[in-house]
Structure 1
Amino acid sequence: AAEPLSAPLAGQNDEMDELEDEAGPRPLALVAFWREVGAVDLVGMHPRWPGGLDPLVVDPPEGALAFLFDEEDDEGAGQFAGLAPDDLHKDNTSGGDPYGVRLPSPAADFLFEYERHGLLFVPYLRLAILEWGGFPGLEGRDQPFPPLDELRAGLEPF
């Protein structure tokens, strides 16, 4: 099984440069995430956990390059880079568009497209990690999720 947290890889700067060459400037928040964190993938199944947890995933630059598409709807709309599968794909169900970023985007932060909260990337990370322990699909559930306190223990606000 893959590790849930993947440190930045040696060749990822080349991949980030390639992404910029193909799609234009990337938001600073995404570049900083890739340089400092690397990638995260909490997808998996636990026999006692419910489905629909929408586990946190942020693919590395290599993943963004693999899911880079021209936006065909609007003239000059740029490109879309997928950064994470949608909540249904994370549960092994055919779903919708991946969560991602529209490029070029020379901004500090960016709208994390197709994620249901409609947040910028950094506020989304705060919600997903600090409030829901990496599982923002817990929001709005009536049933308590006993591991939540342990998942959030020791997390520093950012």
Structure 2
Amino acid sequence: MTSSPQWLRRYQDGHREQVWHELRQLGSAVQQRLELAEEAQLVCDEMARRARHNIEVVVRRLTAAGYRFHDNDDEQTPVPRPHIPPTADAPALADWLQQRFGALPMTVRSWIRLVGDVWLVGTHPQWSTSASADPLVIELEGSRYPDGESIRDYYDGEASDWQEDHGREEEAGVFVLPVSPDRLHKENTSGGGPYGFILPDGGVDAVFVGETTTTFVAYLNQVFGSGGFPWPTGTEHEWQVQNDLAEGLLPL
């Protein structure tokens, strides 16, 4: 295998799939060796910067098109800030998640520190069913929710409910840290459980549980390849809108 100091350079040179493959093959060993962990984290940080760039571009394009960002409720309550950058408390939250749930995947840590929270649910003036297209939502800090609502308390509650539902922890199966409503809830329809990350996980790239279970980076590449809306709705204007939104976005 190529030595670790070349991972970032090779990633930046376009050899992304090979780099991710090598990093994933290491499993949890990557976080147990300092020289590997430091280089792997640099790759994840570069991925997060590219993802943030894509989100900022998509939000600008949607705003210019007259898109209404809103909640997934009957009132379609406006969402004034669809992307909220990380707060000063973001690194502490990443540390707390690792202490509370065990090992935290490096891509999740990078996302918390460098990307922030994103909520693309809404309605496009040329695409009335855009809310049905599974718009990107990743909310790890819970930044847009009212003051006093602790995201840590929420995660603690979810973990307690999981343990209660499944019995003793050693028999409980996997815990999924919830970070997004599922596709149907995004369109204000009763659906299934939330999307999220399987924890604990000491690898580089998180396992993302959504409509399918895949790696976090693979999920994001699918999302950005569709301009932020990966689920086809089959409407007349859908493909053109998605193509316009996805144009020039950076692959991760």
Normalization by structure 2: what TM-score?
0.55
Q: CA deviation at 1:78?
A: 5.5
Distance of 1:153 and 1:3 partners within structure 2: 23
Distance in 2 (CA, whole Å) between partners of 1:97 and 1:2 is 26
RMSD of Structure 2 on Structure 1 (CA) = 2.3
Listed one character per residue, the Cα deviations across residues 2-22 of structure 1 (whole Å, up to 9, x for unaligned) are 322221111122222222221
Which residue of structure 2 aligns with residue 102 of structure 1? 198
2:188 to 85, 92, 95: 92
Q: Is the 8 A contact 1:19 1:61 kept in 2?
A: no
84-93 or 9-18: bigger deviation: 9-18
Where in structure 2 are there 5+ consecutive unaligned residues? Answer: 1-78, 144-150
Distance change (3 Å), C-alpha of 1:80 and 1:116: closer
TM normalised by structure 1 equals 0.84
Q: Equivalent of 1:56, from 131, 136, 151?
A: 136
Amino acid in structure 2 at the alignment position of 1:117: T
Q: Equivalent of 1:31, from 109, 112, 117?
A: 109
How many Å separate the matches in 2 of 1:112 and 1:102?
7
Give me the whole-angstrom Cα distance separating, in 2, the residues matched to 1:97 and 1:62: 18
Q: 72-81 or 38-47, which moves further after superposition? A: 72-81
> Residue 156 of structure 1 aligns to which amino acid in structure 2?
L
1:111 equivalent in alignment to 2:207: yes
Amino acid at match of 2:189: T
In 1, the alpha carbon distance for the partners of 2:103 and 2:125 equals 42
Gaps of 5+ in 1: none
Distance 1:80 1:21 in 2: 16
* Equivalence for 2:171: 75
Aligned to 1:127, what secondary structure does the other structure show? helix
Percent same amino acid among aligned pairs?
Answer: 33
**What is the letter of the counterpart of residue 87 of structure 2?**
L
Between structures 1 and 2, the one with greater helix share: 2
**CA deviation map 1:100-147 (0-9, x unaligned):** 11211111112211x123321100000011x210001127x4745121
**What secondary structure does 2:95 align onto?**
helix
Secondary structure in 1 matching 2:198: strand
Give the aligned length: 155
State the partner residue of 1:17. Answer: 95
Rg larger for: 2
Q: What is the CA-CA distance between 1:83 and the residue it aligns to? A: 1.2
CA distance in 1: counterparts of 2:125 and 2:235, whole angstroms: 19
Q: How does 1:34-45 map to 2 (within 5 A)?
A: 34-45=112-123
- Specify whether residues 142 and 47 from structure 1 end up closer, same or farther in structure 2 by C-alpha distance, changes over 3 A only: closer
Indicate if the aligned counterparts of 1:16 and 1:61 stay in contact, CA closer than 8 A.
no
* 8 Å CA contact retained: 2:126, 2:237: no
